[in-house]
A and B are shown apart, each in its own frame.
Chain A
Amino acid sequence: GQSLEQPSEVTAVEGAIVQINCTYQTSGFYGLSWYQQHDGGAPTFLSYNALDGLEETGRFSSFLSRSDSYGYLLLQELQMKDSASYFCAVRDGYGQNFVFGPGTRLSVLP
């Protein structure tokens, strides 16, 4: 089976940089995805890493190390609207279903 681990909570101040880590155990690994979910809302896709290295999209970057079964989401120039839960996810084996991590709740303070 698949399992993913994330810190449950992270707190940072506006303008700061925060890193949310994700470690995984999977079979048939394709890549690591990240989703953002605001309270009461649905998850929205942020980024995907299939290869080792850093992918940058505006203030958000995502990193993957396949050899370490580890990735992280980096949020720069934090804004209050970044307060949300962040989930990492992988595809389950060779199928079309997905497994999500438990989520990290990010609180951005003024």
Chain B
Amino acid sequence: SQTIHQWPATLVQPVGSPLSLECTVEGTSNPNLYWYRQAAGRGLQLLFYSVGIGQISSEVPQNLSASRPQDRQFILSSKKLLLSDSGFYLCAWSTWEGGETQYFGPGTRLLVL
């Protein structure tokens, strides 16, 4: 069966510090991978998605970046965090064969102070 991991679960970082969030998927090959951000009580904002190694599409301009160094690994980074980067970060995967279903990881709650 497929599993998606995200870490850390919670993170408190000062403004201006760097960020690295990691997501890995097990039990599937060549998944489509996604990073979303969710503000408290709000909907899901797609940040990045990737259909293959080294292929990253960005949905919104921001100080965040994403990388996919391996087939089942997706990393979200920032060189200098802003207060507005606080939120709930969710990684998700889907497959071309799986149609419209997305499977979400447990998320990382980031608080920038």
B20 at interface by CB-CB < 8 Å:
no
> Which of B42, B99, B105 is packed against the most chain A CB atoms within 10 Å?
B99
Which residues of chain A from 5 to 19 have a CB within 8 Å of any chain B CB?
A: none
Q: Which of B34, B41, B51, B105 contacts A98 (CB 8 A)?
A: B34
B42 touches A96 (CB 8 A): no
B46 touches A97 (CB 8 A): yes
Q: Report the tally of A-B residue pairs with Cβ distances under 8 A.
A: 59
Residues of A contacting B96 in the complex (Cβ-Cβ under 8 angstroms): 96
Residues of A contacting B46 in the complex (Cβ-Cβ under 8 angstroms): 97-100
Interface range on chain B (Cβ under 8 Å from partner): 20 to 34
Q: Report if A42-B104 is in contact (Cβ < 8 Å); known contacts: A100-B44, A103-B43.
A: yes
B49 touches A42 (CB 8 A): no
Which residues of chain A from 71 to 98 have a CB within 8 Å of any chain B CB?
A: 87, 89, 91, 95-98
C-alpha spacing A43/B102, complex, angstroms? 9
A48 touches B101 (CB 8 A): yes
5 A-B pairs in the complex with CB atoms less than 8 angstroms apart = A42-B105, A97-B59, A99-B46, A100-B44, A103-B44
Interface of B with A (CB < 8 Å)?
Answer: 32, 34, 41-44, 46, 49, 51, 57, 59, 90, 94, 96, 99-107
